[in-house]
């Protein structure tokens, strides 16, 4: 990949990382506000509990995505970006454009989803 394209990928990954961090912080703040609401009856407490559980599940997926983005940035720094971590073959350029944080080529991704990798 040429330097111009790598710079563009780095900018996209950094933008995505900042979006995730912003969303995570908003969810964290909203969870704190839900704690401070002082729900009085059992229905309000159940609703508050459900909201907090939903927000924590979002933050778990955001954490996973953040880790994938950070790993992609590390692969960029190390010069391994665009190479499948399983088979070490080049990842298709269109796949990288669609999902720049991907770790696997399409074949290995399919194997992983089937539990064969």
Q: How far apart are CA 18 and CA 64, in angstroms?
A: 14
> Which tens digit of pLDDT belongs to each residue from 90-110?
999 999 999 999 999 999 999
> Which tens digit of pLDDT belongs to each residue from 17-76?
999 888 877 766 665 555 555 555 666 666 666 666 666 666 678 888 889 999 999 999
Is the pLDDT reported for residue 115 higher than 70? yes
pTM: 0.72
What is the pLDDT at residue 23? 82
What is the pLDDT at residue 81? 94
What is the pLDDT at residue 58? 60
């Amino acid at each position: 990949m040429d330097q111009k394209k790598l710079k563009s990928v780095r900018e996209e990954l950094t933008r995505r990382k900042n979006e995730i961090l912003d969303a995570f912080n908003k969810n964290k703040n909203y969870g704190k506000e839900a704690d401070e609401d002082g729900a009085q009856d059992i229905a309000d407490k159940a609703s508050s509990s459900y909201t907090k559980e939903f927000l924590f599940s979002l933050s778990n997926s955001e954490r996973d995505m953040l880790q994938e983005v950070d790993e992609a940035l590390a692969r960029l720094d190390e010069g391994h970006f665009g190479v499948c971590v399983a088979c070490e073959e080049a990842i298709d350029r269109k796949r990288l454009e669609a999902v720049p944080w991907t770790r696997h080529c399409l074949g290995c991704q399919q194997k992983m989803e089937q539990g064969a990798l």
